[in-house]
């Protein structure tokens, strides 16, 4: 069950990916041009590069449109920020403005469309089935 948490603007800049999550106690969400809803999380992984040991990136979770609520897939950005520690990389990637995160999401959606067969929407399937 969802709970309302009032925004606490003392926790950060709500116009950034990390700040939004801190202020609103939930991740930012977008509707992609593919019609799916996505929430965004800041993640970090080891890069294998001693000069930039940690890289921060965005993980976009794609939510189901039909049936039981849940995650149906995901998209990941390339490394967007680097740090000497995981915390530094997370903080740096978290400072990305929400508008830039949305732009990155749309680029990933477009890339997925160009490399995969087009998905049929449920209403098209229903119409074709008579």
Residue 62 placed within a domain: yes
pLDDT of 57 strictly over 70: yes
Range of the domain at 89: 9-113
Residue 103 placed within a domain: yes
pLDDT of 106 strictly over 80: yes
Residue 34 placed within a domain: yes
Identify which has the larger pLDDT, 20 or 125. 20
Residue 118 placed within a domain: no
pLDDT of 122 strictly over 70: no
pTM equals: 0.82
pLDDT score at 91? 97
Residue 16 placed within a domain: yes
Residue 75 placed within a domain: yes
Long-range CB contact pairs, 97-104, < 8 A, 24+:
97/15, 97/16, 97/17, 98/15, 98/16, 98/17, 98/20, 98/28, 101/17, 101/28, 101/30, 101/40, 101/58, 102/30, 104/58, 104/77, 104/80
Residue 123 placed within a domain: no
Domain count, the chain: 1
Average confidence (pLDDT) over 106-127: 75
């Amino acid at each position: 069950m969802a709970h309302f948490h009032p925004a606490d603007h003392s926790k950060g800049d709500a116009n950034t990916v990390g700040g939004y999550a801190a202020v609103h106690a939930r991740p930012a969400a977008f509707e992609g041009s593919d019609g799916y809803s996505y929430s965004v999380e800041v993640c970090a992984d080891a890069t294998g590069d001693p000069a930039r040991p940690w890289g921060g990136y965005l993980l976009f979770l794609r939510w189901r449109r039909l049936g039981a609520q849940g995650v149906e897939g995901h998209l990941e950005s390339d490394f967007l920020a680097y740090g000497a520690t995981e915390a530094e990389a997370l903080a740096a990637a978290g400072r990305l403005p929400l508008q830039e995160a949305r732009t990155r999401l749309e680029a990933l959606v477009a890339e997925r469309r160009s490399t995969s067969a087009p998905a049929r929407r449920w209403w098209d399937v229903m119409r074709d089935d008579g």
